[in-house]
Structure 1
Amino acid sequence: MARVSSLPEPRRSALLTGWGRTSPTRAEVLAPVSAAELDRALCDPPSRGMVARGLGRSYGDAAQRSGGRVIDLTGWTDVDLDIDTGDCRARAGTSIDTLLRVLVPRRFFVPVTPGTRFVTLGGAIAADIHGKNHHRRGSFGSHVSSMVLRTADGQRRTISPDREPALFWATVGGMGLTGVIEEATFRARPIASSRISVLAERTRNLDESIARLIELDQTAEYTVAWVDLAATGARAGRSVITSGRFAQPDELPKRWVGSPFAYDPGLPIDVPVTPPPIVLNPLSIRAFNEAWFRKAPRRPKEMISSIPGFFHPLDLVGSWNRIYGPKGFLQWQCVVPDSATDVLAGIMRQFTRTGGRSFLTVLKRFGPANEAPLSFPLAGWTLTVDVPVGDPDLPRLLDRFDEQVAEVGGRIYLAKDARMRPELLAAMYPRLAEWQEVRASVDPHGLIRSDLSERLGLS
């Protein structure tokens, strides 16, 4: 009874999933909003352990703890920006959405953003998120100058690349398993306006897509390719490529000249119900892919876009994860070295043969890796595919893809994973033992763990 009465309010029992809406598990959820409440949430953990959680945008089970405790940090928010240096300190529960509302009107932008702004700062570090500018700027952890970490023993440690570097880099990409990130300081990026100068174009096949991305990466700050996974034959791998940079004030249309740093992401249009599985079929997916490809200009075309329109288009549709039906979906994301594009081509062909049932297939080019042992990006190519759950052949197909990726020195993104076989982990992340040694030094009893860490043998 003493343990329960000491815990912060509110507390509740909740059934939690990741963004893919698969593998729900129940946990005790605590939502601290003060330092004292966070202290109490970390003390006397249940036998099943505990893990921190932000906005739940990891696709799998990284922010779940079946039968244990989940510390909800979404109320743990605060932002402090130094407009002279761009140094930004924020609490770990602060979302990128909130950061942008503070930064953009003050002529700054986050150094890296994923495809959604509904990710917390703590989650961005724990998953070492990447964006359309990895070839130029790397992943988010590379821009963090320091962070405050609460380790399993309750210590409050300030760590940085210079101060406790091993623990710092184990925390970057460490999936929340070295402790609870309380706050972090990163360097925001100055921008010329709140609008993006975008170049949109089509490519005819995968070879052309790869060649064009390599060419654009020499000049463009941001690049990404949406791939038509339903296309076959000579059109296989055809894409819509968008590249961009922040626009200069003199490039803005007249209606924006008077407010060059205005930022209003607007309200999303929600998906009110989960559609039945029959809605998502090869015919409807093929029609969507064809329409999306035809919507893009035949020849390269420049345009001015908003920040939400270019960086976070899916955020314009609330609860879009319902589109894949009541059983949910998996987002499978791999990265392979530059020398293994043939492996990507083969994987894409096999996906296409199964019906190409993906609204979202994305190809991007990564630059060099950082120093974090469990960080996902490495120099090469990353492919992201959404696949609905339900096909009985899907597990075997993805297992085969995992093996092919591991054989060429690639890896699967842990923040997206919900089903990878644990025996492949060490091959994909060759510095795994190094990471486990650091983690054991700050949590020798394995008090901080998640469904993902248990499933993959990380804890």
Structure 2
Amino acid sequence: MTAKFDSWGRVVRHPRVQAGVADLTGGAADGFLPFGNGRSYGDSCHNDRGRLIPMQPGAAIRAFDPDSGILTADAGVLLSDILALVMPHGFFLEVTPGTAQVTLGGAIANDVHGKNHHRRGTFGRSVVTFVLLGGDGESKACSPQTNPALFEATIGGMGLTGIIESATIRLMPVASANVRQTAFRFGSIDGYFDAIDAIDAAHEYSVAWIDQLASGARLGRGVMLAGDHAEDGGPARAPSPPRLAVPFAPPVNLLNRLTLKAFNGLYYGRAPKQPETGLVGWSSYFHPLDAITGWNRLYGPRGLFQHQSVYPAETARQTTISLIECAQKHGAASFLTVLKRFGDVPSPGLMSFPRPGFTLTLDFANSGERTLKMLDALDCIVLEAGGALNPYKDQRMSPKMFEASFPQWRELEAMRDPTLMSDLWRRTAMALDGTRASRTRAVSAR
């Protein structure tokens, strides 16, 4: 049976062979890969030479204790479904990514982060235990106490250590899911870095939108959006269906320099010059683009690339400037340019992307070779700064960049279930493994 499973970047789109969990023990020449909801931007959720196992069909929430905030659900359950159940009871996810349309298993496998990494770390810290099915047909309970090495490798392991069947997570109590937001604009990148220490010390959440097209003295200008769950926020609405939709990809990229320059000027101009605090709905603060079905189609028929990096705090100001200037020199326009701080709260995951420093996210329409050259140039800046790239946002980084970002990859390879494979792992880790094997054979032959 075949079905279409696209990643969110839509650069590579064609049918994949679909399989069921029961097929896992039968083996496949090019492996299997669990598939959640396709919100990874690149090829970490692709296995085009093998088979995908969709995790959403039949997935359900199995238990929820409204006293303790402990919830157990199948891996294919969406975070939006979890929020709909727990918010009326005064709970919220400890860590929520930029969309609620990801599965529980996907949130664990990618060890996603949110706007409060400086306080709570990654999603993996909320995981109490999970059940992992291996290619040998055996299901194992994994936790920090039981099969701890497999637990650590699976969190952030991108679905390569086994099939997460179900998971138990810890939620956090909140007075309201809605957010008391403090917003203000800053005139340059200096305004952000001069303010961020005080902002993060005072607030649970913080994120900054950056006008990537601003240059000169205004380079890096943007809008700070800090927030906390409101003590007087009232009851939160359950996740509602999207209000708008992009039903098909237009023949051209609608998020180009002309349209983005106008949008950026309007958005920046409407932001308050001095900090203003007000109540905003939880979905508007955490998941604003969930209100538009298929917004990624606005980038046109060739899809988009997202470049998310993390780099050390000591040189973050200059690294951020260099990344923005590099994109400008290549004539590129980024719609979603987001800057956040990652704190020093450690992740339990072996291959977690967040680490202390700052993370910049840039989105670019796919313009072919010109875009790829620019992305390579951005990689060089991140590499020189001692930073890393986010693998579940990537679909083109080199094996060299992957190894620099994740020098511990061989530990995951040692824990990888041999029946599981992804295009990202084949493109990066397996290429490195093949190079190492070739060099070993060459030395042995001398």
Q: TM-score range by the shorter chain?
A: over 0.9
Q: How far 1:152 sits from its partner (Å)?
A: 1.8
* 1:332 alignment counterpart: 307
* 1:406 alignment counterpart: 383
| Aligned with 1:386 (options 360, 363, 369) | 363
Does residue 290 of structure 2 align to residue 290 of structure 1? no
* 2:443 alignment counterpart: none
Does residue 182 of structure 2 align to residue 199 of structure 1? yes
* 2:427 alignment counterpart: 455
Q: How far 1:351 sits from its partner (Å)?
A: 1.1
Does residue 341 of structure 2 align to residue 365 of structure 1? yes
* 1:202-261: CA deviation from partner (whole Å, max 9, x where unpaired): 011111112212220001000000000010100000011101111113xx4xxx5xxx24
The alignment-based identity, stated in percent, is 39
Structure 2 matches for 1:117-136, cutoff 5 A? 117-136=100-119
Does residue 171 of structure 2 align to residue 188 of structure 1? yes
| Aligned with 1:73 (options 47, 55, 66) | 55
- Distance in 2 between the 1:280 and 1:391 partners? 16
What secondary structure sits across from 1:141 in the alignment?
helix
Q: Which moved more, 1:154-163 or 1:274-283?
A: 274-283
Q: How far 1:267 sits from its partner (Å)?
A: 3.0
- Distance in 1 between the 2:341 and 2:170 partners? 23
* 1:147 alignment counterpart: 130
Contact 2:80/2:239, CA 8 A, preserved across alignment: no
* 1:241-299: CA deviation from partner (whole Å, max 9, x where unpaired): 101111113xx4xxx5xxx2443434331012322326343221111111111121222
Q: Which moved more, 1:52-61 or 1:63-72?
A: 63-72
Contact 2:180/2:278, CA 8 A, preserved across alignment: yes
Q: What CA RMSD, in Å, does the superposition of the two structures yield over aligned residues?
A: 1.6
Structure 2 matches for 1:153-172, cutoff 5 A? 153-172=136-155
* 2:221 alignment counterpart: 238
Q: How far 1:41 sits from its partner (Å)?
A: 2.8
- Distance in 2 between the 1:430 and 1:451 partners? 19
* 2:402 alignment counterpart: 425
Q: Which runs of 5+ in 2 are unaligned?
A: 434-446
- Distance in 1 between the 2:17 and 2:26 partners? 13
Contact 2:180/2:229, CA 8 A, preserved across alignment: yes
| Aligned with 1:19 (options 8, 31, 44) | 8
What secondary structure sits across from 1:46 in the alignment?
coil
* 1:166-207: CA deviation from partner (whole Å, max 9, x where unpaired): 111110001100011011111101010132100111011111
* 1:49 alignment counterpart: 31
- Distance in 1 between the 2:3 and 2:293 partners? 21
Contact 1:62/1:453, CA 8 A, preserved across alignment: yes
- Distance in 2 between the 1:371 and 1:90 partners? 20
CA shift in 2, pair 1:45/1:26, >3 Å: farther
| Aligned with 1:97 (options 80, 83, 89) | 80
Q: How far 1:137 sits from its partner (Å)?
A: 0.2
* 1:8 alignment counterpart: none
- Distance in 2 between the 1:17 and 1:266 partners? 21
Contact 1:268/1:315, CA 8 A, preserved across alignment: no
Q: Which runs of 5+ in 1 are unaligned?
A: 1-11, 33-37
- Distance in 2 between the 1:313 and 1:211 partners? 27
- Distance in 2 between the 1:327 and 1:73 partners? 27
* 1:362-389: CA deviation from partner (whole Å, max 9, x where unpaired): 0000012324221000000000000000
CA shift in 2, pair 1:306/1:13, >3 Å: same
Q: How far 1:356 sits from its partner (Å)?
A: 4.2
Q: Which moved more, 1:117-126 or 1:295-304?
A: 295-304
Contact 1:25/1:65, CA 8 A, preserved across alignment: no
Contact 2:90/2:176, CA 8 A, preserved across alignment: yes
| Aligned with 1:64 (options 43, 46, 55) | 46
